[in-house]
Chains A and B, each alone.
Chain A
Amino acid sequence: MTLDSVKRGQRVKILSIPDDMIRTQAIRFGIAEGAVVTCREIVPAGPVVISLHNQEIAIGRKLAKNIMVEAVVSSPEKALPDKIE
């Protein structure tokens, strides 16, 4: 499913972000592919606001349509798989 179809309060895992520049920008904001985020707000026909910890990010509707996500059922989980030494 895509990010524009999530519901308010739903937790989703980001699977893919389309554009190279957008992906770079999103990584800097804290949202990498694989991150688990919460949908805070979804403005009808407008942007989607997602949050990761204390950070809120607004994503325009057209862009959200191109971001693939999957629903996450269990919630108390850290944002990214831990695989660094």
Chain B
Amino acid sequence: MGKKAGFVEGARYMVLAGNPNVGKSALFNALTGLYADVSNFPGTTVNMCHGRLGKDIIIDTPGIYGISSFTAEEELAAGLILSSHLVINVIDAAHLERDLFLTLHLIDCGVPMLIALNMVDEADLCGLPVDHGLLEDLLGVPVVPTVAVEKKGIIQLVERLPEARPGKIEELLKKRLERLAGLYDISRGEALLLLEGDLPVAEKLGVVPGMERHDLYRHRRERANMIAASVIREETRVDNLASLLGRLTIRPLTGIPILLVVLGAIYLLVGVFFAQTVVQFTEGIIMQGYYEPLVKKLLSGYIDPASPLGVILSGQFGLLTMSVTYLFGLLAPLVLGFFLVISTLEDTGYLPRIAILVDRSVSPLGLNGLAVIPIILGFGCVTMASITTRLLHSDRERLIAIFLLALAVPCSAQLALVTAVLAGLGPYYLILFILIILSVMVAAGTVLSRFLPGHSTPLLVDLPPLRLPRLKNVLTKALIRSWDFIKEAFPIFLGGALFLSLLKVTGLLYLLQTLMEPLTVGWLDLPRESAYAFIMGFIRRDFGTAGLLSLPLQPEQQFVALVTLTLFVPCIASVMVIFKERGWRQAIIIWPVILVIAFIVGGTVARLFDLLGGIPGVNKPVVLIGLLLLLLAGLLVLKGRERPV
């Protein structure tokens, strides 16, 4: 979502730097008028955004807790900070102690800077008002109180930009750094990183990294605490409703019911309101009632509907009929619904609390609770969620999370169609579907966790406060993301539909259907026409699922096809992200493995339905639910025995 800004002679590069979730993106929006994704959890700024302020260029960076190269994001941010003309350090007034560590780190690096003391309203509410004048004296750089989301203090901040300067550093450290910088001909910031044992800097210079990280960090932490203690004017810890609610969300006794209520509310909003009420209107009445007949009528004046061109434009996979109807009538409202939900969840700060609640349950998958965040975001868009796996701490966890996302997490478009199909099949199939997908996910995670080398990192995460989301931000974010989705999906949809129509017109579709018969008819018990749903599934699995709706299938067949398609690789875009994030060596394995798993699971379900068909009067989904639960219980008992007490 990064906006390009051209280079102007004499322009200064200004970098926004700060801890995660302190309002950098909101400040970026206020300063530049551009939109950067604002959320209430770490890791939103995965792509850099740049914008303009006058002739200067402002760059928004990913949130960091210090300057170092422990993760790729930190390395990126550190590079930008050390090469910028000026740093605007954004700090959260309500979490001054935590944030001052980075501030002092920046000051030690010697970059010209000023401070946006953000969220001063929240600090006052928490009973932690900050004396910003004193803070300015202690740090030696300008400090401007702001409330970025309300655009307060922005003008004052811009006015004081020329006053930006390096802050007060301890003389002893300064002398050491300057000597080191002179010795290797590097900047003071790089000298500091070298002392702190930063590997990229040491490698660049071809010297042994320094060993003083721990002492320097500890000392800096002590200074940060001292400064925080002296500028916070009074400390009357207010236990407000948000902190009480925040606590209730992580106690299992209250947290699990709250989670269930939230999930139920999401289902009612997206699965019932958007997927049924809204779609009936947009797809049923607007598109199929008015739009398609109109297009067909207009076209019939010029083109024979049975001619190749007629088929391509308005046939079964018509570019002007089916593609447009599915995209705007069906997917657009559903995707908007999902993004509204996900944007709201992000802004409340509830997601990290779910991470705490489930930390224990996901550890057998080789993940810690934090991995739940990309997984939940995956229900919005698997492609974007795959990028957010960067917030996980080890490569092993990132690989597991990406694999699970691609295999078993249906994105909003897919989920919407799944909901639509399942709504017609009844509650037993719904439960069975959830159980199967969950089991596949658990099984895949467990196997990966057992066979991948290395260890997963323990959970260590700072909790954002629960906040009431701002309606405007939620709406803007949901609309922008939906629009991005439509922009990305539209050409792929058109291309896919054109491809299918061409296959049909040339007779190749018939040939492919015959070729795939052993798989579709023999293994999955589906009609041969279902082949085109799978072909479409390669392009976008939701498009494949949409294709199912138009086939005359028995409930069982619909279910088998649904399970297989849900486990399919999500879409071309997500495959490209997998290639980008994991490299082609891993991606080239991940992709076919997922396809094989999808067909094995789908086929097994079909075989079981077949077997149960021999017994008269049996409710097949209920029996399967029972079997699956029995199997899971058995595994749990086995696992319980295995574990040393």
- B462 CB to closest chain A CB (Å) equals 5
- B584 CB to closest chain A CB (Å) equals 29
Q: Which residues of A contact B352 (CB under 8 A)?
A: 58
Query: What is the CA–CA distance of A58 and B352 in the complex, to the nearest angstrom?
Result: 9
- Pairwise interchain contact A58-B458, C-beta atoms closer than 8 A: no
Residue of B65, B250, B363 with most partner-chain A CB within 10 A: B250
Residues 36-77 of chain A: 1 if any B CB is under 8 Å from the residue's CB, otherwise 0? 000011011111010011111111111100000000000000
Residue of B219, B235, B357, B461 with most partner-chain A CB within 10 A: B461
B204 at the interface (CB under 8 A from A): no
Q: Which residues of B contact A24 (CB under 8 A)?
A: 66, 70, 213-214, 217
Q: How many A-B residue pairs have CB under 8 A?
A: 127
B359 at the interface (CB under 8 A from A): yes
Residues of B221-276 at the interface with A, using a CB-CB cut-off of 8 Å, are 221-226, 228-229, 235, 237, 246-247, 250-252
Known: A27-B218, A40-B247, A84-B226. A57 touches B70 (CB 8 A): no
- Pairwise interchain contact B235-A57, C-beta atoms closer than 8 A: no
- Pairwise interchain contact B463-A57, C-beta atoms closer than 8 A: yes
Q: Which residues of B contact A61 (CB under 8 A)?
A: 359-360
Q: Which residues of A contact B251 (CB under 8 A)?
A: 41, 43
Q: How many chain A residues touch the partner (CB < 8 A)?
A: 39
Q: Which residues of A contact B459 (CB under 8 A)?
A: 47, 58-60, 63
- A30 CB to closest chain B CB (Å) equals 4
One of A28, A58, A78 near B461 (C-beta < 8 A): A58
Interface of B is mostly: helix
- A79 CB to closest chain B CB (Å) equals 6
Known: A27-B217, A80-B225. A57 touches B462 (CB 8 A): yes
11 A-B contacts, Cβ less than 8 Å apart? A28-B66, A29-B65, A32-B221, A41-B251, A47-B369, A47-B459, A53-B97, A54-B126, A58-B352, A58-B461, A84-B222
A-B pairs with lowest CB-CB distance, top 6: A60-B459, A63-B458, A28-B65, A60-B458, A56-B463, A46-B360
Other contacts beyond A30-B224, A46-B359: 13, CB < 8 A: A24-B213, A28-B102, A40-B247, A44-B252, A46-B360, A47-B459, A56-B462, A58-B356, A58-B462, A58-B463, A60-B458, A84-B219, A84-B223
Q: Which residues of A contact B (CB under 8 A)?
A: 20-30, 32-33, 40-41, 43-47, 49, 52-63, 78-80, 82-84
Q: Which residues of B contact A (CB under 8 A)?
A: 65-66, 70, 94-95, 97-98, 101-102, 126, 128, 213-214, 217-219, 221-226, 228-229, 235, 237, 246-247, 250-252, 352, 355-357, 359-360, 363, 368-369, 458-463
